[in-house]
Amino acid sequence: MRLLILLLLFINLFNVGLTKAQSYVADTLTAKFTDDTVLRFKHTLSVTDLRDENPNFISIYEKKKWLFFPIDQIVFTSRPLAKSFEYHLNGKNGQPYHLDIYEFYINHSKDMFNHSFSLHGAFQLFKIQPNGDSILMGAFYYEDFFKHKSKENVEKAYSKVINNFKTEFIQDLNTVCSDTTKTINPGQYHFRKGSKVAAKNFYISTDAYYGYTFWGFDAEIWFSSPEPAQKFKRKSRMFRYLNYKNRQSVAFSTGVSYLNYRVNKNWLLQNKSAFLLGFNKWNDIDEAKRTIEEVFLFQYSMTQRITLNRLDKSGIAFGVGLIEEASYIIYNKPIFSVGLVLNCAYKF
């Protein structure tokens, strides 16, 4: 009994010590904007950072120190983000504009060969009138993806990411604010003229399937940021139920992938793909002869549908399309099925 108490005490002290060690040894990196005297915004720009973050913060990720201790790596810009934008983007002449930063964050992950970065940004642009009034120009959305070799210095990699974005953003600002251009979209659906920054949507979605040999449904939930371009990707989690002539199956996937194409402000083309792991309940006459291995289901599925899904609007979405699925059950031949799909979702 004493030995057990001492062991529990040791584990508790070790966990407390590890937690405190993490908080004391967290590392910081600095990502630097490079100064470009040639590529600049052609007008005067003031910037306000509306993020609920440290004004220099742009990223955080975890790495192992001494192969064991998880350490938070916090990434800052060398000066507050709003000041960095003003200093490196500002043309300091001509028509004055104002920029609000709603989101600016970089996700970072690493594998054996590459650093992977995804930059997420949302901004609102105003034109300042001579009397001081401001006119809303519209909102920008960004989801930029970058890869760098694993051996490359992480601090330099972050600097490359923000400077690649800076070049893209300056070009977009100059396009939007040009007096000679007739089309102020730097990319289809990338800039929303006259719109405020939209909120993230929470989706609750279900697909109902019907095929010659099966029927079933999916249930999904996910969060979705405003669409950053005409083509964009999203991820969700899914539960599936399928009913065949000789079995019923339930399956799960935590990595459902959506490839989306915005046709217009009302219609969205979607390709959903997922690898699912599940379980079978046999209801044929040979059920007693089934082995334990035949309980398990391995399935790959694809769904193509067109959906009435209004851009930046909450509410009900409807879709129709096709599903193709390939299933494998140990000791059975691969099974291929095709069916119709009806989708109904609600965007909060």
For residue range 142-189, list pLDDT tens digits in order. 999 998 887 778 899 999 999 999 999 999 999 998 865 555 667 778
Helix 154-176 and helix 81-89, axial crossing angle in degrees, nearest 10: 60
> What does the alpha-carbon distance between residue 159 and residue 34 come to, in Å, rounded to a whole number?
8
Q: Structurally, what CATH architecture does the domain formed by 201-347 represent?
A: Beta Barrel (2.40)
Phi then psi dihedrals of residue 289, to 5 deg: -90, -5
Chain Cα centroid distance, residue 159:
21
pLDDT at 22: 40
* pLDDT tens per residue across span 79-127: 999 999 999 888 878 889 999 999 999 999 887 788 899 999 999 999 9
CATH 2.40.160.20 in the chain is located at 201-347
Torsion of CA 275, 277, 279, 280, to 10 degrees: 30
Fold of 26-193: Double Stranded RNA Binding Domain (3.30.160)
Percent of the chain with pLDDT over 70: 88
pLDDT of residue 26: 60
- Is the pLDDT at 285 greater than 70? The verdict is no
CATH 3.30.160 residue ranges for the chain: 26-193
Could you tell me which residues come within 8 angstroms of residue 157 by beta carbon, excluding any fewer than 6 positions away? 115, 117, 148
